[in-house]
Structure 1
Amino acid sequence: MNSAAKTSGPTILAIANQKGGVAKTTSVASLGAALAELGGRVLLVDLDPQACLTFSLGIDPEDLDLSVHHVLTKGLDPTEVIVTTEDAVDVLPATIELARAEADLLTRTGREYVLKVSLEDLDEYDWVLLDCPPSLGVLTVAALTAAHGVVIPLQCETLSHRGVGQLLDTVHDVRRFTNRGLTVWGVLPTLYDGRTNHARTVLDTISETYDLEVLEPPIPKSIRFAEAPAAGRSILRTTRRHRGADAYREVAKHLVARKEGRTP
């Protein structure tokens, strides 16, 4: 397995799936915390106007005067907006204002590159994880243009993978036009119920149909994931020993191995 092509600065991963309800934001927060545990300096970027990632890390979007919206549409330096959290990760937060960014950027020349340019000087980080909105609009394309790799969270249920082909078409277009080095790092199985053969069958189907790597172990379905955001922390902090937290830790080790060019 080859590591993603990059020269210096952080490894940037877009966590993307236009289908909602696949534990995308949970995965960004949990992987960020796990990578920080492994010694990485981590920045999480909330690109969803619903600001779920921002809220889940203990930040009330309504209390913010500045957000990623100002970085993307006003050219504000991200260091003026970044907030440090109790999870030992930094976050570039979102507010509902981000909903206007799609319209603001549509008429702008080079809109696909606006996030890439904003992140270029953040060399103090080892990892930047982009929490993409549940759509294939301007913000997701900008995230894919800025990223070195894509991780696709996928709920292990029938029909949940029908949108994967559409996302891969977008990745293909981005690779052709705005980011030749973009690679798909794999599918991350979420909401996994190990008691059924059905979930494993869905994963096998994905692997065979799209020739994508499946990042193991699958993330189990657990009520603890729903409880963590209310505490403003990731599950790695609210429940130190938990099979869901440990699964994210293992996936994080896999990502580090790939970054370093090692076989996970």
Structure 2
Amino acid sequence: MIFKNEKPSGLESIAFLRQRADDVLAALRDDVFAPDGVKTLRRLWSISETAELVGRSQQSIRLAEAEGKLPAPERLDSGRRGGYSLEAINRMRDHFGTRPWRAASDEPVILSFSNFKGGVGKSSLACHCAQYFAILGYRVLVVDLDSQASTTTVFGFNPDLQIAQKDTIAPYLLGQQHSLHYAIRSTYWPGIDLIPSALHFYGTEYELAAQVSGNLELLETLRAGIDGVAGDYDLIILDPPPALGLVSISALVAANALVIPVPPANIDFASTAHFLGMVIDTLSTLRGQGLEPHYKFVRVALSKFDERKSTQTAIVEMMRQVFGDYLLSTPVKDSAEIDNASARFETVYEQPVALTSREVKRRCLAYLNGINREIEILIRRSWPSHHEALRKIGLM
């Protein structure tokens, strides 16, 4: 403990602050995680929600349960039927043959949420996107490339206690592993696997820098690793660090789709313009070395929008004029529901009840579902096996 009259060194002061911060984080994690330290998905879906997700009528589901082909939900103390877990919903999809997976001939989408400025909502959007696709029954792999490891925490792991450097993607990038299968972990979300990160991953950037000098082909290492496991998934989501370093560049090379989150503020717009310029310079250099990523789509996502602020509204209009069709039409609005969920290392999708009010949560989900629906359509358009279904609903 540091007292008023002491004159600690800078290192001692920082160590004291770190310890206090760690104590708070530990208390927060204990509050969110189950008593055994394992995070669980507490949300259940009603029979009407389940029928819509499965693509079958409520009557078809009840009949399958009555015939013993599907387990019925447990009864509550009141005698009413309980809700359905996501595992139960996926069992129904398997029974009825309504999984939305890509065909084996379709290429998995490797989607990077990239911006070199922190605080733009990158990790939040990545986590909500992954969970949206899992709710719909897709197979998702999330790759946390940020040493802050907030995405790893959201998906149920304590990066300080449970994740060592050998558990991250670092051994593969440094040539100590020859496949990424060692790093893939199941999560408490059915349909979502994770390659975790931790603070230990921070030093990997410097080790890579020493290896990459004069050997730009090493920037293809991440892409090769992702390609080696992509066959098991429909969507791979990359969450790179908020800096245009070697790890972020590797993510740009590995991805075949790109979403750039941008809040409606002048400083964020200016930073994004610089980011785009640096990406152009970087990719131009890589092109000269024969390394050039090809993106199925590139989009800008409007994040943290507060329509009550006139300055933000004006910037949004400017962004719509500047980016045109490259700007996803649905914004992610600044919401207390997202803030409250984030404070618990959670997302809005996993909350069994509203953390604010039902109306606030309803509006928040409408925007999250809207932007993720746009991303889903872009992804499905890249899969030839989905074209006929999209044409039937006027989306091709």
- TM-score normalized by structure 2? 0.60
What is the aligned counterpart of 1:204 among 317, 320, 325?
A: 317
The residue identity in structure 1 corresponding to 2:163 is: L
Aligned to 1:4: none
Aligned to 2:111: 13
What is the aligned counterpart of 1:167 among 269, 275, 287?
A: 275
Query: Structure 2 vs 1, CA of residues 141 and 106 (structure 1 numbering), >3 Å: closer, same or farther?
Result: same
Structure 2 residue runs without a partner (length 5+): 1-104, 354-360, 382-389
Partner secondary structure for residue 255 of structure 1: helix
Aligned to 2:120: 22
Q: Distance in 1 between matches of 2:293 and 2:172?
A: 24
Q: 1:175 offset after TM fit, Å?
A: 4.2
Equivalence map 1:45-64=2 (5 Å): 45-62=143-160, 63-64=162-163
Say whether the 8 Å CA contact 1:28–1:131 is kept in structure 2. yes
Say whether the 8 Å CA contact 2:254–2:293 is kept in structure 1. no
Q: What do the CA deviations read for 1:200-240 (whole angstroms, capped 9, x no partner)?
A: 32123224335562213211112332332454432211156
Say whether the 8 Å CA contact 2:144–2:239 is kept in structure 1. yes
Query: Structure 2 vs 1, CA of residues 133 and 69 (structure 1 numbering), >3 Å: closer, same or farther?
Result: same
- TM-score normalized by structure 1? 0.88
Indicate the structure (1 or 2) with the bigger Cα radius of gyration.
2
Say whether the 8 Å CA contact 1:17–1:135 is kept in structure 2. yes
The residue identity in structure 2 corresponding to 1:116 is: R
Q: Distance in 2 between matches of 1:101 and 1:242?
A: 41
Structure 1 residue runs without a partner (length 5+): 1-6
Say whether the 8 Å CA contact 1:219–1:247 is kept in structure 2. yes
What is the aligned counterpart of 1:218 among 320, 328, 331?
A: 331
Say whether the 8 Å CA contact 1:57–1:234 is kept in structure 2. no
Partner secondary structure for residue 220 of structure 2: helix
Say whether the 8 Å CA contact 2:145–2:197 is kept in structure 1. yes
Larger RCO, structures 1/2 (Cα 8 Å, 6+ apart): 1
Q: Distance in 2 between matches of 1:133 and 1:14?
A: 11
Aligned to 2:377: 257
Q: Sequence identity of aligned pairs in percent? A: 23
Say whether the 8 Å CA contact 1:13–1:130 is kept in structure 2. yes
Partner secondary structure for residue 170 of structure 1: helix
Matched, 1:119 2:226: yes
Q: 1:117 offset after TM fit, Å?
A: 0.9
Q: Distance in 1 between matches of 2:252 and 2:189?
A: 26
Aligned to 2:170: 69
Partner secondary structure for residue 268 of structure 2: coil
Say whether the 8 Å CA contact 1:174–1:180 is kept in structure 2. no
Matched, 1:244 2:364: yes
Q: 1:132 offset after TM fit, Å?
A: 1.4
Matched, 1:99 2:202: yes
Aligned to 2:248: 140
User: RMSD value over aligned CA atoms?
Assistant: 2.2
Query: Structure 2 vs 1, CA of residues 206 and 111 (structure 1 numbering), >3 Å: closer, same or farther?
Result: farther
Q: Distance in 1 between matches of 2:186 and 2:141?
A: 9
Q: Which moved more, 1:80-89 or 1:55-64?
A: 80-89
The residue identity in structure 2 corresponding to 1:16 is: S
Q: Which moved more, 1:35-44 or 1:162-171?
A: 162-171
Q: Which moved more, 1:191-200 or 1:209-218?
A: 209-218
Aligned to 1:3: none
Query: Structure 2 vs 1, CA of residues 186 and 79 (structure 1 numbering), >3 Å: closer, same or farther?
Result: same
Q: 1:244 offset after TM fit, Å?
A: 2.5
What is the aligned counterpart of 2:139 among 41, 53, 58?
A: 41
Q: Distance in 1 between matches of 2:318 and 2:299?
A: 14
Q: Distance in 2 between matches of 1:239 and 1:26?
A: 18
Q: Distance in 1 between matches of 2:305 and 2:343?
A: 22
Aligned to 2:189: 87
The residue identity in structure 1 corresponding to 2:239 is: D
Q: Distance in 2 between matches of 1:143 and 1:235?
A: 26
Q: Distance in 1 between matches of 2:333 and 2:189?
A: 21
